[in-house]
Copies of this chain bind each other. A is one copy, B any other.
């Protein structure tokens, strides 16, 4: 049987989330997020981050990004992010679609630094250019990195000083948190808005947008509806977070994913494989030969990230809540046997 390391959104949901649906199936709840499950999920999130914030449940990452950014910017205001930022590359122009330019900087290893933002501010000085107003970061990043507590704090302070909002896309936040480079409280303290990714961390879909800067929460519910992002069955959007935020489950999912990814990384390194990015999260980017790739394809699914020479290719392996160490051991065995043809 083929196992897929293609992404972290390939199976329905964590068994505990499904269990909760079964438990609640005969309930009647009020609509549009005014129900008890939504209240409970909000409370659990606020307790985790220890910050008086507003919480909203949306159905996907691109949707979360476009609603948040459109809600807080005026027409001529722009977003700053790194070139590899998800909003810049893989959202089919959703941010520009609602009217806002995405200004990109090179950054370093997929992360933006205050000095990068400084450069943008120095270039954008009058009304003939857009006005930078929001900095977008992903944590974990698209390239497997993590912004630590200190990095996040520095960014946030730089932004605040320069009248910029800091918004954190947490599509893979579980994996970032599970590195212990930062914790839940940092998210409340050092961002204006962030979202807790459900889709890639055990939910059947859905993201929890958390607005720490309460001035930005004004009429956010109107924005949700206006952009088609408010579910009539709000409870369907919040129930997964009620489960994920209980008993540290969200963190545990990230922990297991990271362990599996780390296992794969260290074993592949022992086998002489190099890596394109230095990842500490659930996405890893080994560099292999095309021949090896073909052999791997027989039993595994994964993304081809980039061809870097006639012979070499970067692939992406992603661990998810369904990945186990045993699955990873089998992969390494397979790699040794079939790909490397060891005996």
Contact = CB atoms under 8 A, between A and B. Distances in A.
Given A94-B225, A98-B99, A129-B89, A13 B29 contact: no
Interface in A228-283: 228-233, 235-237, 239
A22 B18 contact: yes
Contacts of A130: 92-93, 96, 222, 226
B11 A228 contact: no
- Greatest chain B CB density within 10 A among A66, A76, A239 is at A76
Interface stretch (A139-147, A187-195, A199-207, A287-295): A199-207
A76 B233 contact: no
A297 to B, nearest CB: 14
A42 interface: no
B62 A71 contact: no
A298 interface: no
B219 A233 contact: no
A343 interface: no
A224 interface: yes
Interface residues of A, number: 79
Contacts of A239: 12
A239 to B, nearest CB: 8
A92 B222 CA distance: 7
A24 interface: yes
A303 to B, nearest CB: 11
Interface string A87-129: 0011111101111111000000000000000000000000111
Contacts of A29: 10-11
Interface of A: 3-4, 6-7, 9-13, 15, 18, 21-22, 24-32, 59-67, 70-71, 74-76, 78, 89-94, 96-102, 127-131, 199-200, 204-205, 219, 221-233, 235-237, 239, 301, 322
Given A92-B222, A92-B226, A199-B233, 7 more contacts: A63-B228, A75-B226, A76-B226, A93-B226, A94-B226, A94-B228, A131-B219
